[in-house]
A and B are shown apart, each in its own frame.
Chain A
Amino acid sequence: MTPEQTVIPKPSRRADTAYLDFIEGIREFVLNEQDGLDHDIDELFSALEQRRGKPYSTFEEVAEIMDRTAVGPLRNRLMRTQQEMQWRRIIETFESQRADLEAELDSYDKRGPGEVLWDPDFETPEYANVHFHLQPGGYHKDPLAGYHYHYSTKVFFRGLNDSDAVHKGAAAPTPVPADGKVARVLDLGCSLGQSTTALKQKFPQASIWGIDHSAPMVRYAHKRAVDLDVDVSFAQRLAEDNGFPDQHFDLVYSMILFHEIPTRIAKQVLAEVARVLRPGGLFVVHDFVSSKNSTPLQLYHREYDCRYNGEPYAKEFCRSDFPAMVDEAGLKLQRAIGDGYGFMNTWWVER
């Protein structure tokens, strides 16, 4: 199988595929940048700002208008409902395959290329006991969580990431250390391993590890990589305590990890990165933008995600001073790059 092919799990019934396709349609209805509901809301605020002669500068001003016009509650109700419907149907459709899928994971545990290390007695930290994005049981409680999460991300990306295009696009411009050496790479909070396999495509000669706190995720990531015939390995380990030797890696990478962990842990992760990166090694971080670079309307949507979509730490991360935390960990910020839309930032950090 080539890396361009998709390995997304298949729902049990055509009716489930259609139902989840409908959820994708709802997301498209709300999020389409050219003519979605959120685009209409952007236009509404542009018109209101034009009328009053100055932009809204605070979250509170925007929230008051969203509430008064009922636009906000209705939009948020629809987003919450589609998310609940999505998880319910995803879990239902894979339930009838449970025995086969669990046996499949057992079988793939022993196959290569690459390996997967996980511990049935692993203690999940309390801070990770969250139903992230409303996924029942979060990333770690259901052995099939990887299958569930993979299908949900298909819906989330509205089909645009079926062959990992988003992760490949993010990994492609990954810089190399000044001496050009990239022999060992670590992907933090790898979940499905899509960045991990994308990094292998970018650095085919490198030994690449993906780590995650969730056993179901690393097991599924390994299965997915084996299906794609990509030689990468996975381990159930914490980003803040990864167990690799000092100065072991040339490159460490994280894709949308930091906004899902408390600031206290983020600082520990940066210290751990400083420990496992060799001198001159690079840490590449993709994550949400800081609050100070967000519009009040973007902050309103972020507030929804935090409170109603199971992302309790996202606001904390966006309000933190990430470059200062990098500095505090003894690392050096090389470059900060925005995505141009105000959603994502990339930081290149050097040890």
Chain B
Amino acid sequence: MGRALSNDPQVIDDYDNQTPEGGVPLAGADPVLLDDPATDALMRMVTELTAELWVERDRRMVLEDVLIDAGVIRPETLENYVPQGARGERFAAERQALVQSVFKELRRIVATASAESS
């Protein structure tokens, strides 16, 4: 039953389809709270970046603890590691996914400008 909401553009549009009975006007899906949309976007990027940084740091701390506890590695093994071949490619792909995630605001701004100019 029901429909998935997460990837449904209708849901974002739905912010404009709310029907509050009076009260304080709702800000809508994309309010500008700082001096201009660029500054808002920068603040979003910094926050998203910090979240991603923490997610990665959390994963690394989990992994290191688990591996050291299991006696699989010693702390100095990590410092000397260099990924090779397919592993190196995987590192590059992960890096690009991180950049996409952090800087998606720029693409959204472009998309918004495109929509407004069409």
Contact = CB atoms under 8 A, between A and B. Distances in A.
Interface string A6-42: 0000000011001101110110000000000000000
Contacts of A203: none
Contact of B26 (A91, A120, A126, A130): A130
A332 interface: no
Contacts, number: 125
Given A82-B47, A131-B14, A137-B14, A91 B55 contact: no
Interface string A116-127: 000010000011
Contacts of A265: 21
A102 B2 contact: yes
Interface of A: 14-15, 18-19, 21-23, 25-26, 70, 73-74, 76-78, 80-82, 85, 88, 91-92, 95, 98, 102, 120, 126-127, 129-131, 136-138, 141-144, 262, 264-265, 303, 306-308, 310-316
Given A18-B58, A95-B6, A141-B2, 8 more contacts: A81-B43, A81-B48, A85-B48, A88-B6, A129-B19, A130-B19, A308-B33, A310-B26
Interface in B58-90: 58-59, 62
B15 interface: yes
B47 A91 contact: no
B106 interface: no
A307 B47 contact: no
- Grouping DSSP codes into helix (H, G, I), strand (E, B) and loop, the A interface class, with mixed when no group exceeds half, is helix
Most chain-A CB neighbours within 10 Å: which of B12, B21, B34?
Answer: B21
A74 B43 contact: yes
Contacts of B14: 131, 136-137, 141
A77 B34 contact: yes
B21 A131 contact: no
B24 A312 contact: yes
B33 A312 contact: no
A306 B23 contact: yes
Contacts of B52: 19
A311 B51 CA distance: 26
A316 B62 CA distance: 47
Given A21-B54, A22-B51, A312-B26, A127 B20 contact: yes
A77 B44 CA distance: 8
B27 A308 contact: yes
Ranked nearest first, the 7 interchain pairs of A and B with the lowest CB-CB distance are A312-B23, A143-B2, A18-B58, A306-B24, A312-B20, A127-B21, A91-B6
A264 B21 contact: yes
Nearest to B15: A131
A225 B38 CA distance: 46
Interface in B1-50: 1-7, 11-12, 14-15, 17-27, 31, 33-35, 40, 43-44, 47-48, 50
A95 B31 CA distance: 26
A142 B2 contact: yes
Contacts of B12: 136
Nearest to B62: A14
Contact of B11 (A73, A127, A136): A136
B54 A25 contact: yes
Contacts of B58: 14-15, 18, 21
A59 B19 CA distance: 27
Contact of A126 (B1, B21, B44, B54): B21
Most chain-A CB neighbours within 10 Å: which of B2, B4, B12?
Answer: B2
B24 A126 contact: no
A22 B12 CA distance: 24
Contact of B34 (A74, A143, A310): A74
B80 to A, nearest CB: 26
B27 A307 contact: yes
Nearest to B7: A95
Nearest to B33: A77
Contact of B43 (A15, A78, A95, A315): A78
A309 to B, nearest CB: 9
Most chain-B CB neighbours within 10 Å: which of A19, A21, A81?
Answer: A81
